[in-house]
Structure 1
Amino acid sequence: MSEKDTISMQLVREALLQTCPQGKADAALLRRAGIDERSFEQADARVGADAYARLWRLLARRCNDEFFAMDPRGLRSGSLSFMCQASMAQPTLGAGLETALGFLSLMLEDLQPGLVRQQSLAEITINEPRDEPRRAFTYFTFWMIVHGVACWLAGRRIPILAIDLRCAEPPFCDDYRVMFSENLQFERPRTRMIIAADCLDLPLRRTPEELQKFLAEAPGNILVKYRDPDSLARRVRRILGKLDPGQWPDAERLARDLCLSLSTLRRRLAEEGQTYQGLKDSVRRQLAIDWLSEGSLAMSDIAERLGFADASSFYRAFRKWFGCNPGGYRAFVLGGSQVQGKNSG
């Protein structure tokens, strides 16, 4: 099994915290899921995504809650199916998301989601009555459901520009960054996911047969299919992320650094649906939104660090990437209060 098809054992332990006494391993439950009990306490152990998906279904049946008893009301068995059926009947992803989030608002007591669209950006926010933030696992489980359903409805991965969370950063975040976005911000005023608004206009054409297949494979298909590419592509992204764009190696030097031939590098990236140029473009976009989120760098400095000739070139590229200007994105991300705009749908 490849690394990209595995999940940190820490997520298994997190899933058991709410449903098992003191989060202790239930040997019989782990065996039914196909998880080696001996590796449960190993800090760096990993488990197959298919085994984690079986554990998810077993826990959901045990407590009749597809949200692992992390909300006073929870999501009774069949909630995901009903939510998908109602959402797929809508004409667009925006309308489908409104339906899904409306259903979750009715079912859950403490997590009240909403979708707000403002020009070229949109955010899914989670409003909470309590002052104390939830565990990161609670938020990310919610995002896995919402983002996974959104991706399935659209028939493609919906890129996430950023995720803000009210909670502190947990000691394990690598899996979350693979599943969602490299741009995770913790201890923020509110919890939200930011996406490009044009995704909301995607048409929905799912069939009942496709729904049955999706539900039969869930959540394993969500865990693997709709997350960011891993393995070699992610190794390359990490290498690029540690260097200024002006220091990025050419393909031949990168291949040597990875102890690969140039043809092998290209072939293995192609097998993952990637190219080196595409990865460089992706990292450059990620750096742009990371540096804009910091709020301290001037636009001209960001443009120079990204390798653009001037700020205007950066502005044009950013608009092409995300459909908005960088100043607008910075104001959106750093804004202290929820953006004003009409709900999508």
Structure 2
Amino acid sequence: MTAKDKQDDNNEVTVNASSTRSLSGYLIKKGLSKKKLEAQTGLTLSKLDQPDQRIPIETFQSLWDIAEQFTKDPAVGLHVGESSNPDDMGVVGHIFFNNATLGEALKQFERLYKLVNQGMRVEFYVDDDFAYLNYICERPEYYSRANMDRTMAISVIRARTLIRSKLKMEYVAFAHPEPGYIDEYQRIFQCPIKFDQPHCSIVFKKQFLAFELPKRNPYLHKVLTRHVETLLNKIRPKKSLSDQVKVIASKQLPKGDIDAEKVASQLCMSRHTLYRKLKAEGSSFQELIEAVRKEKAIRYIKEKRYSLSEIAFLLGFSELSAFSRAFKRWTGSSPAKYQK
């Protein structure tokens, strides 16, 4: 077990109570008794009304298993998302819709999403034409098809309901294989759907980022933001040194070779100390740089937003040939073959 694994095990991964409350309420409306639900999950449903309550992710995943078994509906995630009441939003949802514009809301959503589900992170970025909202699972065991169906359905439906009905998606992507209820995806999302993708994504034209949110309350936004900062500090695990190096490296890649001395300086330590501490975590500086480049290379190629020459530049390679050699070392295939 690596140092990071040990660190993760010391921090229980949780989801917010509002997601669990929403799913429990749906099942009770469908006829599942409250007593039986509590017996099967070990939850005390009355505690889900406490605004700062958190639920272990394993319990939340088991609740989805119960939902599929009880309803006999493989598309239950989509239907829970479709029937969700905006009044039942958690604190992060209320903060989102009290921003000035959609663009500002998504930037804050990216930072606060750990409060919704610690097993995932949100990545928001914009290119020349489109805005991308990616839901990235931290570990395979944290991924739930039904929950991601619900998450994406809620995201799109609330955007159209609470922001603007004509908010059009270019496509919605899922990390799981195509299930047998594709018609339900098309009915709900009304846009192209992709499956077996690197992660779940919502993609739309970047011009929509300027949309003003119609029910903004600046005072409420300020109060709620102050509150969630306290919550974030409670659940935020301390990043390992390896993670900190990867974050810095990711930002510096397009500038060329990443210098260990400069990275160490940003971390307020000497290069020798950096190397020593990374070794204690079971890692090395060069391994981390290689890992960041490999992860980004595969993501860029799968997303098909950049040419191979552009990807080589973004990863800090001086020439396409150098990138091609490195990529073949990582995957056993050339970038061009991998892309096909």
**With structure 2 as the length reference, what TM-score do the two structures score?**
0.43
Q: Name the structure where helix makes up a greater proportion of residues.
A: 2
Max Rg structure:
2
**With structure 1 as the length reference, what TM-score do the two structures score?**
0.42
